[in-house]
Amino acid sequence: MLGVRPGLRDAGIDFRNWYGAGLSAHPAYAGLSRDPLPISADVAARLIGLPCFTDLAEADIDRVVAVLAR
């Protein structure tokens, strides 16, 4: 999924890391002990949120899909 990011940026399509750096990386939990979470870190690094809202025009949806399909 990392491969789609440059295309989205070039097309001016906003996206976000859906889980940021992962819950375990949140400053509120920095001082707590934890086991390694390699799968969580992997998913957090790859999962992105695409534009999604109730009045997103169909043409905009088609544009996002076209960029992702490339």
> Residue 35 sits in a domain of what CATH number?
3.90.1150.10
* Mean pLDDT (the chain, rounded): 90
pLDDT for residue 8: 96
Q: Which of 4-13, 29-38, 49-58, 61-70 has the lowest mean pLDDT?
A: 29-38
Q: Is this structure's pTM higher than 0.95?
A: no
Model confidence over 7-40: pLDDT tens digits? 999 999 999 998 888 888 889 988 899 898 899 8
| Total domains present in the chain | 1
Range of the domain at 54: 2-69
Cβ partners under 8 Å of residue 48, min gap 6: 1, 4, 5, 15, 16, 17, 18
Show the beta-strand stretches assigned E in the chain.
16-17, 48-49
Q: 1: pLDDT confidence band, cut at 50, 70 and 90? A: very low
d(CA 66, CA 68): 5
Does residue 2 surpass a pLDDT of 90?
no
* Main-chain dihedrals φ then ψ at residue 55, nearest 5 degrees: -105, 25
